[in-house]
Amino acid sequence: MKKIIFTLCILASFILGFAFKAVSEKSSDNLKRVTGIGGIFFKCKDPKMMREWYRDHLGLNTNEYGAVFEWYQGADNSKKGFSQWSPFSEKTKYFQPSEKDFMINYRVADLEKLVEQLKKENVTIIDKIETYEYGKFVHIMDIEGNKIELWEPNDTVYEKLGQSMGSKTTK
């Protein structure tokens, strides 16, 4: 009898877990938010020397903007994905209004839909969505004043742009 009750409890927990997951997914409209790291940007005294140091000592394939990491997407491992690594001058104003020395770029699946949801959640949206051939961008602030860049990438165009510049990715 104890085995049957124990088995029924496990089965009930399993079913309730699936039910909770289904309800919670419907409540957020299956909105994908961040899907990966799009880039890491940081301030330094001499970006050129920093790129050279990382190239010489850590093997990054650097260019005038930093380095691009190439990888394959987990959701569809036939598609390439890219993440940017960029040292900026310590005097850059690009990270403002944040006073931090870094900024992280997150890859997202549907920027317009995500921005609408973030507005409903009272997240500070710094600017309007900007669209380029290689993707869409917007900046937000987190609760500690870190500026965050959200990027809905067009990886195919991004790769072609890098190739046209003669840049090599770090794999």
Alpha carbon distance 26, 43 (integer Å): 41
Q: Which residues contact 52 (CB under 8 A, 6 or more apart)?
A: 62
Q: Please give the model's pTM, rounded to 2 decimal places.
A: 0.78
C-alpha gyration radius of the chain: 21
pLDDT over 90 (residue 26): no
Is-contact 165 61, C-beta < 8 A? no
Alpha-carbon dihedral sign for residues 54, 158, 39, 41: positive
The residues, ordered by sequence, that sit 6+ positions from 170 with a Cβ below 8 Å of its Cβ are 59, 60, 61, 67, 68, 69, 70
The Cα–Cα gap between 84 and 54 comes to: 14
Q: Does residue 151 contact residue 132 with C-beta atoms inside 8 Å?
A: no
Tally Cβ neighbours within 10 Å of residue 111: 18
* pLDDT classification of 171: cutoffs 50, 70, 90: confident
- What is the percent of the chain with per-residue pLDDT over 90, rounded to a whole number? 65
Distance (Å, rounded) from C-alpha 102 to C-alpha 41? 6
Element (H, E) at 159: helix 155-164
pLDDT for position 114? 96
Q: How confident is the model at residue 11 (pLDDT cuts 50, 70, 90)?
A: very low
* Three-class DSSP category at 94: coil
The answer to whether the CB of 72 falls within 8 A of the CB of 78 is yes
State how far the Cα of 94 lies from the Cα of 109, in Å rounded to an integer: 24
- 106 neighbors 37 (Cβ within 8 angstroms): yes
When comparing pLDDT for 92 and 17, which is higher?
92
Tens-digit pLDDT profile for residues 31-79:
888 989 999 999 999 999 999 999 999 999 999 999 999 999 877 888 8
Q: Is residue 20 scored above 60 in pLDDT?
A: no
Q: Which residues pair with 110 in a beta bridge?
A: none
